[in-house]
Chains A and B, each alone.
Chain A
Amino acid sequence: MTTYNSNKWDDWMRAALDGDQKLYRLLLNDLRLWLTAYFKKRAPINAIEDLVQETLMALHNKRHTYDPNYQFGPWISAIARYRWIDHMRATLKYVETAINDDFPVDDRDRDESAKKDVTSLLKLIPPAQAEVIEMVKLRQMSVEEVSHKTGHSPSSVKIMVHRGMKKMMAAVEDFQDE
């Protein structure tokens, strides 16, 4: 794994702001490895390349917000985190609207990826809500089946799913605010 190299990257980023393409290339190559390792811990494997490219693109477009008087590390970490949170937010929206009893065959990769993201977020909400969301959204059980299995009424199941998804969304927003 590429480790964060503070002094070297600080210097390269400052040079990049002055238009030094050679050092910018070195920086981006180093960062590609570091970001791949960073996202491997947080996102499903098929989302990593997209997240790395989005982060490098954000670095490129917003490079003027880097203050050369400060360290580069916290700045690039914040960008990577923002991209990851954005990914999680989009995933939750997708799960809430797209994954249903009729499993979309042509977007299986995205569904698998979304399932993994949601599984990690389920730990952040109360167990009862997590159990219901897991059954409805990840195991594609119908509301009636979940109702029968858990003893909750069908409308309670729907409310628990809705509230649980809202809590997961709030948890993602909290990551952003930290």
Chain B
Amino acid sequence: MNDPFIDQLVNDLQPKRPLRDTDLWALGIIGFIFAAIAIAGTIGLRPDFFQAAKTGALFWKPGIFFIAWLASSLLIMSLSRPHGKIKKWHLSLFILALFTLLYQLLIQSQFVGSKEVGQVLRDKSAIYCLSIITGGGGLLLFAAWKLWITNAASMQPKLLGLLAGLNAGSIMAAIYAMHCDIDVALYVLVYYGLSIAMLSAVGAYFGQKLLRW
């Protein structure tokens, strides 16, 4: 005996391409390329680019956000499927990023005075930092949302949304770090962190509202 409900589903069946992790990696790489072109083509790379390579600032600053992007990409891939689970080693990548920042904070506390830190935190460029990372990250979040996130079926939609914001913000922050010549770790923590936190909050809000299935 035929079941009308099953008949309806069977008649509606079309071949469908499964969600592939490689697509998310490709999206991320395209995001990096777009962000790099936009930053290099508009505000340019930091003037002391080669000097920053020598001091290591060119590596640890974008590196923190590159690791955060890697970790959030792996978590998004896992959580995009109903049976996906959070793996400990994915979280350990976040800890590595946090440890790198804390290490820089500790090292810098020995030779950067509180007066200098105060001046840097009041620097006018902070508003550019906030608006570029948040604005550019917002565009990347929108693209990722349309092309990947809405196709997911997550048991934890709020967390998936949050990770999408973190992921997009991390890409933008990693690229913006190539332009920004303020290497004070507290500045990075406050302004880069605030931008990424805002994008994550937006992602979490929309994740909870729109990703239930």
Chosen A-B contacts, 26 in total, with CB atoms closer than 8 Å, are: A16-B13, A17-B15, A21-B11, A21-B13, A25-B6, A28-B9, A53-B5, A56-B5, A56-B6, A57-B9, A60-B9, A61-B213, A64-B19, A64-B151, A65-B18, A65-B80, A67-B81, A75-B83, A77-B83, A78-B83, A81-B155, A82-B155, A86-B212, A176-B156, A177-B155, A177-B156
Residues of B within 8 A of A177 (CB): 155-156
> Can you list the 3 inter-chain pairs with the closest CB atoms, starting with the nearest?
A19-B15, A78-B82, A78-B83
Residues of B within 8 A of A47 (CB): none
Dominant secondary structure at the B interface? loop
User: Which residues in B have some Cβ–Cβ distance to A below 8 Å?
Assistant: 3, 5-6, 9-19, 80-83, 151-153, 155-156, 212-213
Q: List 8 additional contacts besides A65-B19, A67-B18, A67-B19; criterion CB under 8 Å.
A: A16-B13, A17-B16, A17-B18, A19-B14, A56-B6, A62-B153, A66-B81, A67-B81
Given contacts A28-B6, A56-B5, contact A65 B153 (CB under 8 A): yes
Contact partner, A29, options B3, B80, B82, B155, Cβ 8 Å: B3
A24 within 8 A of B: yes
Q: Which residue of A lies closest to B153 (CB)?
A: A62
Bound complex: CA A56 to CA B5 (Å): 9
Residues of B within 8 A of A19 (CB): 13-16
Beta-carbon contact of B10 and A28 below 8 Å: yes
